[in-house]
Structures are given as structure tokens and as C-alpha cells.
Amino acid sequence: MMRRYISILLVLIHACIALAQTSEPVEGTVSYKSSQNVYVKFENTAAIREGDTLFIRRGEDLIPALEVKHISSISVMGILLDDVSLEVSDVVLYTPKGHQLRPDEPASNPTTEAVLPAPIEVPMVPVAEEDVPQETLFKERIRGRLSVSMYQHSYGSSSPNVQRMRYIFSLQANHIKNSRISAETYVSYRHQFEDWSPDNGDRSKALRVYSLALKYDITDRTSIALGRKVNTNIANIGAVDGLQAEHAFGKVTLGAFAGSRPDYRDYGFNKDLMQYGGFIGFRSSTKHGAIQNSVAIVEQRNNHTTDRRFAYIQHSSALSKSLSLFASAEFDLYSMVDSLAENKIHFTSTYISLSYRPSRKFNFSGSYDARNNVIYYETYRNFIDNLLEQEMRQGLRFRGTYRMVKYVTLGASVGYRFQKEQGSNSMNMNYYITHSRVPLIKASMMASAILLRNDYLHGAVYGVRISRDIVKQKVYGEVEYRMAEYQYGNSELTLHQDIFGAQVSWRIRKKLTLSVDYEGVFADKPNNRVHVNLVQRF
């Protein structure tokens, strides 16, 4: 049996190497902006790491614009660097140079030195690690955030108001005091307003630990980590509660892990959900961009019985100068049929994305998504947002953007989804136009229209959003209006909602920000939501 799995792994490794090609800088688009954070959407984020720098293009130069703080599969959240302004729909670039230029180590002349020249090959004398000053190998870098939020949801006279407090503490401490030890954590706690008891009386469900780990660098190429941590090489399996080890040599990284997986009901610790596995990753950079391949084999157990045994493969590269590819897949290696174990390969998750950019003005992409739905343990999404996310996620999807003139961009996407469980199909279409610098009001404006159609729901959502700095670099404001109309099944009754939203963010100090968000949904049962958030970064 072991020989069989080793053979499968070798075949996958060979496939990864065969797929590896040169790639070019990856382009993303600003999808949302608050006073302290900017969200950028990419076709994939496999090559991007926390702490990397994203750029904007000014003529022939690349200007550092964002420092990446958090990463998901198709988007990143970052903080603006000094003297840079971004608006919704602006184009942002990722390039391997982002690994070399850090926000805390700026170039003396960003407009020229941000585009780093290719390294000059000169004879190098090998230096033993003990001969290199420790502060050179392991430089301290500590970033964190503490936020206090108040959330109020008013349902009118039909239901009592809901008031909650939420506290978040996140910390990324790399090489504490220039040592080999690093730490990371992301923890949140919620409780009813004016009552420190948890919402449902269960304190373990109110406290959510998304990340809590220590890492020790044995050398600059070998490390071990203990605690709850998401490994970017195998991010698809989520967090691992336990021990992880990695060793890099050349362009190859080998890793292994053993521990448990978080409880799917409340994200708590569950010792009965054991898991272990290993992975191999290939990562390289060329003058065009980064290439990333990884393969993993994982076994997950439930009460000491094999629950799932699967392999995961991920690849990103460029097929040509204007065409890039990202693909990932999972397939089970074990299943139970009529109480008998079978070791057959069954594909369970697939995602393929192609991005084509023939010119700076036009961008086109297509994707096939057969992944499982995402579980949100915490979310402030309303009904419409949840509906749109669910209906527009799986299936075939095609997107295109066209920059008509300097500040105006047109965009459209069409998605088709087949739902095997319900035996039904769904179609969705999204159209939008943005103007990043509207004359006279000096604001960014976006108008959009989303159309949904399936066997149980027909609907449309139309919206417009305007945002701008009220006081430059200090106070930011945004207003939004959406009109939603939808019908369930064969009902002739049309449900109508008017949704108003507004946000004001005040940058009190360089790292202290206060924001107030309001959203009102006006229908048969109107409701209002207010979210106040105070954030201190350090």
C-alpha cells in the first residue's frame, strides 16, 4: 500500500515539474477600500505571502503601494504605504520584487529603485551559518492589531434588538529580539452588550482562536511550528492543531505535520479529529514572475478511524506572456463502500482558472469551480450578500474588464452553476462601471447590476456606491444604495428591499482609526445595523 502512495506522489511531482513555466507579474483590482485597509482581488494568490509589497504602475515605473497583511484564495487585504492613494477598480500588481522590497526598508528613490535589476552573478565564498551575525539571519519584525467593535442590529418592533461587543487581537512577531523564535495569533471574543457572559452561555463558542502558534527556526532553511497554524503550502486543508516541520533546499520545500483539525461546528479544539500528512513544494522566480507547485497527501481520522485520506495538488504559472494558469485539485484515496474499504481515486474538489490580458486596457478570465462551500464562523453579511456569494461561487465563470479611458472601467461577469443535489441549474450576471475620479466631487463611483436566475429564485440587485476622502488622509466617507427584487419559486409575489449604507472612518493617529458603518434594509420587516470599530495597530 505504501508503495502505491509513493508512486502516486512521484507521478504528481512529475506533473508539477512538467507544468512549471515562466510567469509574469500578477494583476489585481481594488475591490473595496476603508480608511485603514484596502482589499485587492486576484485570480489567485498562490504566489503572494504576508509582508509582501504590491505595486502600482506610474509610467514605466512600479511604485510600492500596499503591504500585504492577510491572504485568502482570491484576494488580499493590505495597508497603504505612505503617500499612496488607491481607489476602487484601480489596478495593483504583484511581482516577485515584492519579496525583496519591504515597507520598513524603502528604496531611497522608489520611482526608480522599486524596479530592482536582475542580480549580478559574482563568485561567492560559502559562509557557515555560525559565521553570519544572528541579527542578519533573523531580524525582528513585529506587527499587531487590537480592535474593539460594537454591533447593533435592530429589527423594529417584531424582535428585540441585538447588541454585541467583539474584541480581536492579532499579532505577527517574527524573530523576537532577533532570535530564532516567532509567534503568531489571531483571537476574537464576543459577548452581549453590557453583559460579559457569552451570547449563548457557552464561553468556548464565544472565544474563537483562529491562529495561535510558536515557530522555531533551527536554521534559515529548517523550522518547526507548534500550535494552531495555517500552512500556506497546504492552505486548502485549513488550520492544523499540532506540530509542523519544514525544510527547504534550493527551490524545493519538504514538510510534514501531525495533530488534529478544528471542530467544524465551533472551530474549537477536538482531539478526536486527528490528522497527519506531508507535502512537497516547488517555488522559483524568473524575470517574469513566480512559479509555485505543491503536492500533499493527508490522512484525517475521526475517533481513531480513518475518516478521509486524500491528495492535494496546486499549480500556478504562465502559459504565455499574456496567459496565466492556476489550478488546484483534491482527490480521495480511500472510501467505505458497503462497510468495505476501497482504495480508489475519486476527485472531490477542482478549481481551474485562466487569465488572459492581451493589453493594459483589457483583461479576461475564466474559471471552473467545483470546490465545497465555505463555512463562515463569524460574518456580518446580510441575506442579500449571503445569497449572492452562494449563487455566484461554484460552476463556470467568465469575467472581463475594459478600461475605456484613464479613470473609467467597464466590467462584466457571467456564471453558470449546476447543483447536483437539487438537480437544478442557476445563472448569474454581474455588470458594473466605475469612475475612480469623478469631476467636481473628486470621488470614486461605481454602479452595478446583478441578475440571478435558478429553479427556486429569480432576482436582481442594482446598486451605486460613492466614496471619497472628506479630509485628505484623515477622514474617509462612503455612501451606498442597493435595490433588490426577487421571487421565490412559482410565486407571483415580488419581494422588494431598499438597502442604504454609509461609512465614515477617522484616522485619529497614524495607527489609531475609528470607523462607523450603517446599513438599513427597508422592506416588509425593516431592520438597521450599526457597526462601530476602534482599531489600534502597532
- Residue 81, C-beta contacts closer than 8 angstroms, at least 6 positions apart: 53, 64, 65, 66, 67, 103
What's the whole-number mean pLDDT along residues 138-165?
Answer: 83
Q: Which residue did the predictor score with more confidence, 253 or 90?
A: 253
Least confident of 5-19, 250-264, 381-395: 5-19
Query: Could you give the CA distance from residue 183 to residue 456 in angstroms, rounded to a whole number?
Result: 48
Arithmetic mean of pLDDT over the chain: 77
Of 376, 383, 403, the residue nearest 452 (C-alpha): 383
pLDDT over 50 (residue 115): no
Helix runs in 377-458, H state only: 383-391
Q: Side-chain half-sphere of 516: how many Cα atoms within 13 Å?
A: 3
pLDDT of residue 96: 59
Q: Which residues of 225-255 are buried (b: 16+ CB within 10 A; e: fewer)?
A: bbbbbbbebbbbbebbbbebbbebeeeebeb
What is the pLDDT at residue 512? 92
Could you read off the pLDDT of 392-443 as tens digits, one per residue? 457 888 989 998 888 899 999 898 876 655 556 778 888 999 998 888 888 8
Helix residue spans in 426-489 (DSSP H): none
Are β-strands 335-337 and 340-342 bridged in parallel, bridged antiparallel, or unpaired? antiparallel
Question: pTM for this structure?
Answer: 0.66
* Positions of E strands within 319-423: 323-332, 335-337, 340-342, 346-356, 362-369, 395-403, 408-419
Task: Select the highest-mean-pLDDT range: 15-29, 44-58, 100-114.
Answer: 44-58
CATH superfamily ID and name for 379-538:
Porin (2.40.160.10)
Q: Using 50, 70 and 90 to split pLDDT, how confident is the model at 104? A: very low
- Pick the range with the lowest mean pLDDT from 19-23, 121-125, 298-302, 512-516: 121-125
Cell output for 454: 435558478
Domain ranges of the chain: 379-538
β-strand partners of 478: 467, 503
Asked whether the beta carbons of 351 and 371 are under 8 A apart, the reply is yes
pLDDT, one tens digit per residue, over 154-204 is 876 666 777 889 999 999 999 999 999 999 999 999 888 766 555 555 555
Q: Is 133 or 506 the better-scoring residue by pLDDT?
A: 506
Report CA 10 to chain centroid distance, whole Å.
Answer: 30
